[in-house]
Amino acid sequence: MLIRASFFLLGALAPLASCQQPLEGQPSTASQAARVYIYQTNIRTARGNPVWCDGIEVATLRHIWSYFVVQLPAGEHTFRGRHKENELFLDLVDGEEYYLELAQIMAYPGGEKMVRKRTLDGRAVLDSGKLSPVSTDDVLDGSKVIFPTRLPPGSKTAK
């Protein structure tokens, strides 16, 4: 009898839990878009490496150790470098951070591939102080590309 009453109370209170508002002074995570940090560390080419998001060229990574940040709503998005066959699909969650490296992998067409990094690894690269934000001249879609409001320790400011 006691067990049935417990299940009944839990079932009755479950809808109330989903209606809770954030405490005053705490930001709501539901309204925060996902942030995707895109960087390159080892590609050495004479020309810049374009980065595409959802079929639109958003920025160019011209220099080794350069990065930019894309802010997107939750849902499935695609990312790639110069070659469409190396497209990466990600299902983004609001308020989360993702790290993508445009890596030099000779086994792939064009020798480059967008690779998702573990959060710990991506954060370590970002915190290393070696990355520099791309130049504003290299940003092609200002509606998606943002420069972080908080730069990692030791990072250079945007040019």
Residue type at 91?
D
pLDDT at 155 over 80: no
Q: Which CATH number does the domain housing residue 142 bear?
A: 2.60.40
Per residue in 98-125, pLDDT (tens digit) is 999 998 877 666 678 899 999 999 999 9
Which residue segment(s) compose the domain that 60 sits in? 31-146
Question: What is the number of domains present in the chain?
Answer: 1
- Determine whether 110 is exposed, middle or buried from the number of CB atoms within 10 Å of its CB (0-12, 13-18, 19+): middle
Residue 112 lies in a domain: yes
The three-point CA angle 73-116-88 to 5° equals 70
Per residue in 125-136, pLDDT (tens digit) is 999 999 989 988
Residue 117 lies in a domain: yes
Alpha helices in 19-159 (DSSP H): 119-127
What percentage of residues in the chain have a pLDDT greater than 70? 68
Whole-structure pTM value: 0.71
Beta-carbon count within 10 A of 4 CB: 8
Residue pair 55/67 in contact (Cβ under 8 Å)? The answer is no
Residue 26 lies in a domain: no
Residue 22 lies in a domain: no
List 92's β-bridge partners, or say none: 75
Residue 158 lies in a domain: no
Residue 42 lies in a domain: yes
Per residue in 3-47, pLDDT (tens digit) is 444 444 344 444 333 333 333 443 444 458 999 999 998 766 677
Residue 92 lies in a domain: yes
